Amino acid sequence: MRKTVIAGNWKMNMTPSAARTFIKELAPMVAGKDKCDIVLCVPYVDIAAATEAAKGTNIKIGAENVHFKASGAYTGEISAEMLVETGVEYVVIGHSERRQYFGETDQTVNLRTLAALNAGLKAIVCVGETLEQRELGYTETLLKYQTKIALTNVTAEQMKNVIIAYEPVWAIGTGVTATADQADEGNGYVRAAVAEMFGDAIAAETTVQYGGSMNDKNAAELLAKENVDGGLIGGASMVTEKFTAIVDAAN
């Protein structure tokens, strides 16, 4: 059956020394809680400290973005090959903040996903509707469209390294969480899109996370839903007690 994955997304927070301290504190709190994979996606400059601090623990480290070209004149960008050499195993792709502030499109999400998968990384691909799109009744159409474009040219074999995070834009960093039923429904649309592309068996094996104000209080109810296979967690992933409580809920 599909894996439950609890992943933190630190965004533009935490210096390398803060990352080291945090992971040293978190590691004994989540030790042995292996019914889910535990991942922290961190700023590029934190990766060295984070991978070092996580060595020998059950915490895996991810990046928050990757460029789609292998190399070249792209000042400030980081390639998949560079990430692999740092020791990260995961990378977040297409987060709504990148779509909103940094010109990310469904097409570039697809290119980044392919670059990450071809380099052997696990891709956490984010999709989600805005409040306006939800109110207009486009949630299902949009989630399926975003999912299908993101996964274009991905092979069935590569799907085992794909995680999709359903993150309703209106629930990110707002304190407004989707209800467990809304999360289950959104994740179900994503899974249906995967089934339409790759068939039911692969869809049943694909981890679909929920993200958007998941915390220690609401995680158990969200994770109890059939289609919710973990979480992508911002704010609560930077508080050891809260993140541990979410890991506990998944266990």
Which amino acid is it at 244?
T
Smallest gap from Cβ 21 to ligand PGA, in A, equals: 21
Smallest gap from Cβ 72 to ligand PGA, in A, equals: 29
Which CB sits closer to ligand PGA, 104 or 167?
Answer: 167
Could you say which of 64, 97, 129, 167 is catalytic?
A: 167
Binding site for ligand PGA (CB under 6 A): 9, 167, 172-173, 211-214, 232-236
Query: Strand, coil or helix: what is 38?
Result: strand
Closest by CA position to 140, among listed 118, 117, 168? 168
- Number of neighbours of residue 39 by Cβ within 10 angstroms: 27
Residue nearest to ligand PGA (CB): 234
Question: Which residues does 85 contact at the CB level (< 8 Å), separation at least 6?
Answer: none
Dmax (CA) for the chain in angstroms is 48
DSSP state for residue 130 in the 8-state scheme: -
Q: Is 67 an active-site residue? A: no
Could you say which of 64, 67, 95, 97 is catalytic?
A: 95
Smallest gap from Cβ 42 to ligand PGA, in A, equals: 13
Smallest gap from Cβ 7 to ligand PGA, in A, equals: 8
Smallest gap from Cβ 94 to ligand PGA, in A, equals: 11
Which CB sits closer to ligand PGA, 66 or 232?
Answer: 232
**Token couple for 170:** 């209106």
Which CB sits closer to ligand PGA, 79 or 113?
Answer: 113
Which CB sits closer to ligand PGA, 82 or 121?
Answer: 121
Cα separation, 83 vs 63, whole angstroms: 8
The beta-strand segments (E) located in 10-121 are: 37-41, 59-63, 90-93
Which CB sits closer to ligand PGA, 59 or 92?
Answer: 92
Mark 198-229 as b/e (b = at least 16 C-beta within 10 Å): beeebbeebbbbbbbbbbbebbeebbebebbb
**Token couple for 179:** 């209800």
Provide the annotated active-site residues: 95, 167
